[in-house]
Amino acid sequence: MSALKSLLRQKNKTWTAEDSETFNVTFVPFEKIFDVALPKDKEERFQRLSERFTQPGEDELKNFSSYCDSFAENNFLVTFTHLENATREDSDPIESRFAVSSFLSIVMAGLGLSHLSK
């Protein structure tokens, strides 16, 4: 196995400057790779998504089916439903993947980046 493969397979590996130099790795910002402008923390489209995602509290998420009507207009309704299902003792492990997938799709669409997921 090459040294690079060995390095990449290490869990929680933080690349050092020496690693980058050894393997001639250059870190490129996301914006340059995909030619998009990501929003800043205080930008309105980011704030709107952030507010909607953090709208329900922990108790509401754990029992989301009881509260879902209150969040009918929330973009993250499907994500919240999958999160509730993922927390059940008898849940299918795929529910957490569905939650992450729906979250990423909504965020990318909300930020105008949905074309990157195709």
| Residue bearing the bigger pLDDT, 38 or 68 | 68
CA angle 84, 115, 105 (to 5 degrees): 5
pTM of the model: 0.64
pLDDT band at 1 (very low <50, low <70, confident <90, very high): very low
| % of the chain at pLDDT higher than 70 | 81
Instruction: Give the residue carrying structure tokens 């930020």.
Output: 111
DSSP state, residue 112: T
Tell me the pLDDT tens digit for each residue of 60-107.
988 999 998 999 999 999 999 999 998 888 988 899 999 999 998 998
Q: What does the alpha-carbon distance between residue 101 and residue 28 come to, in Å, rounded to a whole number?
A: 24
- C-beta separation of 55 from 74 below 8 A: yes
What is the mean predicted confidence (pLDDT) over 26-54? Answer: 79
Average pLDDT value for the chain: 81
